[in-house]
């Protein structure tokens, strides 16, 4: 959609509200084509003011670091809303400017938004399985606030267990607020707002974890209010993206059937679905989450840790002798980037790609 808009609007200024997806290659390509960012350029992996190619426009935050990032957007400009959607407040700012808006929100992201509005209208508080600060979850939280609803964001099972303890009455409600900075709606009262709960997911989370979160909240509700009250007090909607689910299922199948020695997962370091693919694999074999082929050499690999967002280099990553390597990539990773990683591994292993292809 963005490429078509560029071709149809020669000479017109175009902005991305924020990175269109969490893949630096894609965002760099758009910058090279003349698209600018209104905010959050660092998320894309390109430094502020850094041009991706010679002669390409510099990537700068509109308005600079000290001003309002929307002030440089004019009514004649075209602004692209990314796949993750946008906060209500940002959409209101753009509407006030009067610029043309190209909305590329993923249909799978729109699903939890529709569920959210329905649940709020029925008096439910939203428990969001997601990451505080992730573009998609920020948009969902903004929607809930603007519909005068309430929410709490849980990232994993330990955080879910804290919410469940409050539901059961085994932990004081005020303890929850101290343990969830920035993860609750304004004036969130756990004692009041966890009486009726609807669960939705950031669409790129680990599906098996989302299912378990639903099971644990349902058990807590059943214990507190009784089985006959469960249906009226708890709603669970699976809003995991189909591409995310298919990729996770494929990794499970690969791990089960292929006798892997290690796994390489290719994708942007800010990509939630890519990190979760790495989490799936890491429980079975040594796993490396890398951004592209430039991270690979014969004796070292640059990658992101799986337990926290830290970039590290691991030496001796490729065992000697016969090795079975599995490959996968996040939903936002271009196919050619995955192909380059496969090619690079073959090269550092001292093999010829044509001989491996001939061998099947």
- pLDDT-derived band of residue 43, with 50, 70 and 90 as boundaries? very low
Average pLDDT rounded to a whole number, residues 129-134: 92
| Cα 316 from Cα 241, distance rounded (Å) | 36
Compute how many other C-beta atoms are within 10 angstroms of the C-beta atom of residue 24: 22
Tell me what pLDDT residue 179 has: 73
Alpha carbons 309 and 324: distance in angstroms, whole number:
27
Give the domain ranges of the chain: 2-105, 108-240, 243-349
SS3 content of the chain, % helix, strand, coil (to 5): 45, 15, 40
Rounded average pLDDT over 18-45: 78
Report which of residues 257 and 144 the model is more confident about.
Answer: 144
Here the tokens at position 55 are 């002669």
Identify the DSSP state of 271. Answer: -
Give me the mean pLDDT over the 25-40 stretch.
87
pTM: 0.76
Is-same-fold flag (2-105; 243-349)?
no
Helical pair 88-97 and 135-146, crossing angle rounded to 10 deg: 80
**Residue 123 in tokens:** 């008096």
**What percent of the chain has a predicted confidence (pLDDT) above 90?**
63
Residue 41: is its pLDDT beyond 60? no
Residue 62 has pLDDT above 60, yes or no: no
What digits encode the pLDDT tens for the residues 271-294? 888 998 999 999 899 999 999 999
What does the block give as tokens for 107? 């249909």
223 is catalytic: no
Structure confidence at residue 331 as a pLDDT band (50, 70, 90):
confident
- DSSP-H helix ranges across the chain: 2-8, 24-32, 88-97, 107-121, 135-146, 157-168, 173-179, 190-193, 207-225, 230-233, 242-257, 272-282, 335-348, 353-358
The CATH number, out of the four listed (3.40.50.11270, 3.20.20.70, 3.50.50.60, 1.10.3720.10), of the domain defined by the range 2-105:
3.40.50.11270
Q: How many helices (H) and strands (E) does the chain have?
A: 14, 13
Question: Token match 């799936």: residue?
Answer: 280
User: Span 243-349: which CATH code?
Assistant: 3.40.1010.20
Token pair 């539901």 in the structure block, residue: 167
**Residue 315: pLDDT band by 50, 70, 90 thresholds?**
very high
pLDDT of residue 75 exceeding 50, the answer is: yes
Average pLDDT of the chain?
A: 87
Choose, from 136, 159, 270, 291, the residue flagged as catalytic: 136
Rounded to whole angstroms, the Cα distance separating 103 from 317 reads 42
Would you say domain 108-240 falls under CATH 3.40.1010.20? Answer: yes
Q: Which of the four pLDDT bands, split at 50, 70 and 90, describes residue 353?
A: low
Comparison of pLDDT for 307 and 96, the residue scoring more: 96
Sheet bearing 197-201, strands edge to edge: 151-154, 125-129, 197-201, 234-236
Residue given tokens 């044509």 in the structure block: 354
Residues 6 or more apart in contact with residue 324 via CB below 8 angstroms = 258, 259, 260, 261
């Amino acid at each position: 959609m963005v490429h078509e808009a560029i071709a149809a609007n020669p000479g017109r200024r175009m902005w991305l509200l924020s990175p269109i997806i969490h893949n630096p290659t894609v965002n760099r390509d758009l910058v090279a084509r003349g698209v600018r960012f209104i905010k959050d350029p660092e998320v894309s992996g390109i430094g502020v003011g850094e041009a991706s190619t010679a002669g390409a426009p510099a990537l700068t935050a509109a308005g600079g670091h000290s001003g309002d990032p929307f002030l440089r957007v004019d009514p004649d400009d075209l602004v692209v809303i990314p796949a993750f959607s946008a906060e209500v407040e940002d959409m209101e700012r753009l509407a006030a400017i009067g610029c043309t808006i190209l909305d590329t929100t993923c249909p799978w992201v729109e699903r939890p938004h529709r569920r959210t509005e329905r649940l709020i209208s029925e008096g439910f508080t939203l428990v969001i399985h997601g990451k505080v600060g992730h573009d998609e979850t920020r948009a969902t939280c903004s929607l809930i606030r603007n519909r005068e609803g309430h929410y709490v964001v849980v990232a994993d099972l330990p955080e879910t267990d804290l919410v469940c303890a409050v539901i059961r009455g085994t932990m004081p409600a005020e303890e929850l607020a101290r343990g969830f900075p920035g993860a609750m709606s304004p004036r969130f009262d756990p004692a009041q707002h966890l009486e009726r709960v609807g669960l939705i997911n950031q669409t790129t989370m680990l599906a098996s974890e989302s299912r378990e979160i639903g099971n644990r909240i349902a058990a807590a509700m059943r214990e507190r209010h009784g089985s006959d009250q469960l249906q009226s007090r708890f709603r669970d909607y699976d809003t995991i993206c189909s591409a995310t689910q298919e990729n996770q299922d494929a990794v499970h199948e690969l791990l089960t059937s292929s006798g892997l020695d290690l796994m390489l997962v290719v994708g942007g370091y800010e990509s939630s679905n890519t990190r979760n693919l790495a989490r799936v694999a890491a429980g079975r074999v040594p796993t490396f989450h890398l951004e592209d082929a430039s991270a690979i050499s014969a004796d070292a690999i640059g990658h992101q840790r799986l337990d926290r967002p830290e970039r590290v280099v691991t030496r001796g990553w490729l065992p000697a002798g016969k090795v079975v390597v599995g490959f996968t990539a996040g939903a936002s990773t271009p196919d050619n980037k995955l192909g380059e990683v496969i090619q690079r591994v073959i090269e550092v292993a001292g093999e010829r790609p044509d001989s491996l292809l001939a061998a099947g």
